[in-house]
Chain A
Amino acid sequence: MAAAVRTRAARGARGARSPRRPLMAVAGALIALVFVLPYLIMLIGSFKSRSEILRVPPTYLPEEWLPSNYVDMWSTPETPLPYNLVSTIVISVCATLVVLVVAAPAAYYTARHRFPGRLVFLLLVLVTQMLQPTVLATGLFRQFVTLGINDTWLAMILVNSAFNLSFAVWIMHSFFAAIPRELDEAAALDGASRLQILRRVTMPLVWPGVVTAIIFTFVACWNEFAASLVILTTAENQPLSVALTKFVGQYESAWQYVFGVSIVGIVPVVVLFALIEKRLVAGLTAGAVK
């Protein structure tokens, strides 16, 4: 009896999965649909004409598909979208470069060397990771007004790099820490300088961590909203995330353009995130979940 139960259970663990698999695939497809539905609505809406997207009752699919929306959207009266796109790109690219240059040495050194203050430093990094520009927006605004750099790209590059630094330090730190020291020592015995070791031996091994840090920082900067909202007041300086809110609450909105711009703003970052899918969690949770 016991043996019979056991074999049935054992078979159940492996065998019973197969008849349920098609059902699970259907459920999976439904889940996938729910997660992409808003973006499907966006995509379809971006091809509608202005009169059709405001029609009562609405149409599900465009009666007339207008790919020309993707050209016309750059000159909508609500906000100067070409400037907003340039702003978003400049701020995100610069902040990501700053993060990389600043975080990589810190991540390398803390992973490779024990020194008094190391844990304090790592704790500091961890705490800043959990702080967000939102909670400090008032202070940042005051600070930049006092310094005379409010409403500038520089201010937002500083904010974005400072608040994304900790993630980059953590993820690169964990990659550096995973490399056996013997590798460095062997290279040092062969007469390589520390910088050469970093470039030739360590860098290729930590490359996945670096890529993760770059992508994660870039996407976070790209989507940043709260600090930009109070610090960037000139329409031309604002990123896409802030610019798009100007369409909401206005009657007769040019929704088709909002969606066209959203698609342009979303597709690149989704592709980037998909590239680092497997490593997203490791960095964010700072090694607490392996």
Chain B
Amino acid sequence: MTTTATRPASRSSDRPRGGRSRWAATARALPWLGPTLLLVAGVVFFPAGYMAWTSFRDLSQFGIDNGPAGLDNYARLLEFTALPRVLLNTVVWVVGVVVVTVLLSLALAQFLDKAFPGRRFVRLTIIVPWAASVVMTTTVVYYGLDPFYGIINAFLVDVGLLDQPYGFTRNAVPAFLTAMGIAVFVSLPFTTYTLLAGLQTIPTDVREAAQMDGAGPWATYRRIILPLLRPALAVATIINIINVFNSLPILAVITGSIPGYNADTTTTLIFKFIRADRQIDTASALSIVNFLIVLAVILVYLKVVKPMRED
């Protein structure tokens, strides 16, 4: 490592020319990239492959491999009676949370882009749910919504929004909606910050020019700001889709103690397969399905956002 690092002669071969020197240039890069490649190969790509392989094996509850299973694990998934509900939940979960998050963040970013006293403080408070553990944030809301000693429930009754405390976390549907609300809450910081960064790339004279031409604030926003915000919007939306799709802790805390699968997404179902049923083979099959969905979203990201372009 050190010998490679201290050799100043390698500068001349920065721009590869012929066939052999091309390989030499790649070989020289390896000591620098090697550790990254090793870690990614060993802890990201190998488990992905191993998971794919496991999805075609018959595993006992104690992890003993009983030989090939063909497509049995995938067939068991399809026969799983709660699957349609879980798939529907997953779509509602991802679409609902991402759409609401993006809309609220657009408003928040627009607001925070303007100068007012205390803006910096407000921006800093928005960071809090981003930095805080999602488990901890969700846990305090779970406590607050308890129908007996929950402080949020009590507040809603005291201000007259509820006649009596409501069991938000007691049944699948309200608990699922509550979890969606929390998911929006913890997704707002990243989304708002990304959109704010996007807004700051729009020169003020573009806005002022539009206003001088007599465009109202709404027209300026829709015709000028929103189109220029497209790249930031694309990034925020796609990263949110992946995050929300992969989200486990919120539903695990809010709906984890509700029996049945009425409040599960494919992600939380995987963890029920692993932890409650110890069906690692079926869990692998479902994980592969999830993995392919995530890869598809990543492909869309690469195509729409083109983050690899160099300036």
Which residues of A line the B interface, CB within 8 A?
5-6, 9-10, 12-13, 17, 21-22, 24-25, 27-29, 31-32, 35-36, 38-39, 41-42, 45, 53-58, 60, 98, 101-103, 105-106, 108-110, 113-119, 121-128, 130-132, 134-143, 145-146, 158-159, 161-163, 165-166, 169, 188, 193-195, 198, 219, 222-223, 225-226, 229-230, 240-242, 244-245, 247-249, 253, 255, 258-259, 262, 265-266, 269-270, 272-274, 277, 280-282, 284-290
User: Is B275 touching A230 in the complex (CB atoms < 8 A)?
Assistant: yes
- Min CB distance, B234 to chain A, in Å? 8
Q: Name which residue of chain A comes closest to B256, CB basis.
A: A249
User: Is B35 touching A41 in the complex (CB atoms < 8 A)?
Assistant: no
Most B CB contacts (10 A, CB to CB) among A108, A248, A253 go to A248
Main secondary structure of the interface of B (DSSP, over half): helix
Question: Which chain A positions have C-beta within 8 A of B43?
Answer: 140, 158-159, 161-163
User: Is A116 touching B26 in the complex (CB atoms < 8 A)?
Assistant: yes
**Given A137-B287, A280-B130, 17 additional A-B pairs, CB 8 A:** A6-B212, A13-B207, A24-B111, A39-B132, A42-B136, A42-B140, A109-B32, A110-B29, A113-B14, A114-B16, A116-B25, A161-B39, A244-B139, A245-B249, A262-B140, A280-B190, A288-B307
Distance A166 CA – B43 CA, assembled complex (angstroms): 13
Question: Which chain B positions have C-beta within 8 A of A24?
Answer: 111, 114, 116
Does B161 make an interface contact (CB < 8 A)? no
- Min CB distance, B27 to chain A, in Å? 9
* A55: contacting residue among B23, B149, B287, B308, CB under 8 A: B149
Distance A244 CA – B294 CA, assembled complex (angstroms): 28
- Min CB distance, A287 to chain B, in Å? 6
Question: Which chain A positions have C-beta within 8 A of B51?
Answer: 136, 138-139, 142
Does B22 make an interface contact (CB < 8 A)? yes
* A56: contacting residue among B116, B131, B149, CB under 8 A: B149
* In the complex with contacts A258-B139, A287-B307, A142-B50 CB distance below 8 A: yes
- Min CB distance, B44 to chain A, in Å? 5
Main secondary structure of the interface of A (DSSP, over half): helix
User: Is A139 touching B39 in the complex (CB atoms < 8 A)?
Assistant: no
What sequence of 0s and 1s flags, for each residue 272-311 of chain B, a beta carbon within 8 Å of any chain A beta carbon? 0011000010011001001100100110011001111000
User: Is A32 touching B122 in the complex (CB atoms < 8 A)?
Assistant: yes
* B128: contacting residue among A5, A39, A115, CB under 8 A: A39
Interface residue tally on B, bucketed by range: 35 or more
* In the complex with contacts A138-B51, A194-B7, A281-B197 CB distance below 8 A: yes
The 10 closest A-B pairs by CB, nearest first: A139-B51, A139-B47, A162-B43, A249-B257, A109-B32, A273-B131, A24-B116, A262-B136, A115-B25, A32-B125
* B256: contacting residue among A56, A130, A194, A245, CB under 8 A: A245
User: Is B121 touching A32 in the complex (CB atoms < 8 A)?
Assistant: yes
Distance A230 CA – B268 CA, assembled complex (angstroms): 12
